[in-house]
Chain A
Amino acid sequence: GAVVSQHPSRVICKSGTSVKIECRSLDFQATTMFWYRQFPKQSLMLMATSNEGSKATYEQGVEKDKFLINHASLTLSTLTVTSAHPEDSSFYICSARTGQGPYEQYFGPGTRLTVT
């Protein structure tokens, strides 16, 4: 149980275009989803916290107009990277809380974004 999927697994886009990444909880309802970014050989950095039906909360230094997050249902959150630039190339990972156990988060497999 507690499976999280992401789509696509990897995407290549041209500079200036927008890319949407989906995060789904497959067998549970996720009260909260988190979006992380991980650059090569670096740690995971939290970008934003997403609660179903409400606006996402962004971490300091993360541009909310550039990284649009929508959490329209209890099983789906989307991250849209708008006007992508090469410096946005990274590994984007989502996680989800079940709301049953108080702590554990379940991670998606990640999306490798390359902006050319």
Chain B
Amino acid sequence: GENVEQHPSTLSVQEGDSAVIKCTYSDSASNYFPWYKQELGKRPQLIIDIRSNVGEKKDQRIAVTLNKTAKHFSLHITETQPEDSAVYFCAASKTNDYKLSFGAGTTVTVRA
């Protein structure tokens, strides 16, 4: 099955700085890569996603890049704010079953 690895496990940044989280996946058939933000005790919230026919996608302060050849994708958050503090999960899925395989998560702390 699909194996998604995520790094780092924790990330502390100064407010206003950028944060980058990296994930790799094992199954070359995976073609959908969402990123979720989860606050304690809450449901995961989709913040951005990318499909395998696109190399980069941006939504305001958040961007995701995908390198299909290397099988890795990254989340970039610019101009971080305290409300960006949360646990972020990457995931991978493919269209034959739509199952999401999640990375281990990154706890992001934005220092004011």
Contacts and interface: CB of A to CB of B under 8 A. Distances in A.
Contact of A44 (B44, B46, B95, B97): B44
A110 B42 contact: yes
Interface stretch (B11-19, B53-61, B98-106): B98-106
Contact of A43 (B49, B51, B98, B103): B103
6 contacts: A44-B102, A45-B102, A46-B99, A46-B101, A103-B98, A110-B41
A20 to B, nearest CB: 20
Counting from the closest, the 8 A-B pairs by CB-CB distance are A107-B43, A103-B32, A43-B102, A44-B102, A109-B43, A43-B104, A43-B105, A107-B44
B109 interface: no
Contacts of B102: 43-45
Contacts of B1: 60
B100 A46 contact: yes
A40 to B, nearest CB: 10
B80 interface: no
